[in-house]
Chain A
């Protein structure tokens, strides 16, 4: 079965602390992995994708095919990082129009 699992519904950290949002996947083909973010009262938007290997707003994510994981990390959390984070996947090289989403993790960064 093709599935994305985000084990934490809620993650609460203090400002300046490291943060790691976990994502594990099950996929029969070659996947492309993404992290989407939804800030309060805003639309769902792409944060980063594994093939770009870039850091966005201080966040990074590395695809570990052996552990089938794509955890999102940031060394020093900021209050503005508070949001809902969704891990998603699709077939590599495809249209990206048929994303499989995890159920999301709500990140709360306390002052």
Chain B
């Protein structure tokens, strides 16, 4: 099975712009989660999507949004970029069923976003 893929791998934007990141989960996985990783705050949960619905949400401002398509691919969008949004954005996919080993999270390589 192909692993989780994320595009693009690197992105440079300027303050005030918006950005869209994409994540393709492992085939058959219905859950996609997004995380922000920074040196100061570490890995922080953004949101989780399951069957095109947001199932869980972290503590991030409304500028951060996401969606999931019928093929389970997911996108996250950040509007009005700030310098502090510079980070590695990771997505993870799983079967998404409640409980059990089937929910092991498989992480992608990440998208490195730099905001100038």
Contact = CB atoms under 8 A, between A and B. Distances in A.
Interface of A: 43-46, 52, 86, 92-104
Contact of B96 (A86, A92, A97): A97
Interface string B68-79: 000000000000
Contacts of B98: 93-95
Instruction: Find the residue from B45, B50, B96, B105 having the highest chain A CB count within 10 A.
Output: B105
B50 A46 contact: no
Given A46-B104, A104-B42, A97 B109 contact: no
14 contacts: A43-B107, A43-B108, A44-B90, A94-B98, A95-B99, A96-B103, A97-B48, A97-B50, A97-B92, A98-B33, A99-B33, A99-B43, A102-B42, A104-B43
Contacts of B107: 43-45
A95 B109 contact: no
Interface residues of B, number: 30
B104 A96 contact: yes
B56 interface: yes
A97 B43 contact: no
Contacts, number: 67
A46 B92 CA distance: 11
A93 B99 contact: yes
A96 B42 contact: no
Contact of B56 (A44, A97, A102): A97
Contacts of B56: 95, 97-98
Nearest to B32: A97
A43 B2 CA distance: 14
B42 A99 contact: no
Nearest to B102: A96
B64 to A, nearest CB: 15
A60 to B, nearest CB: 18
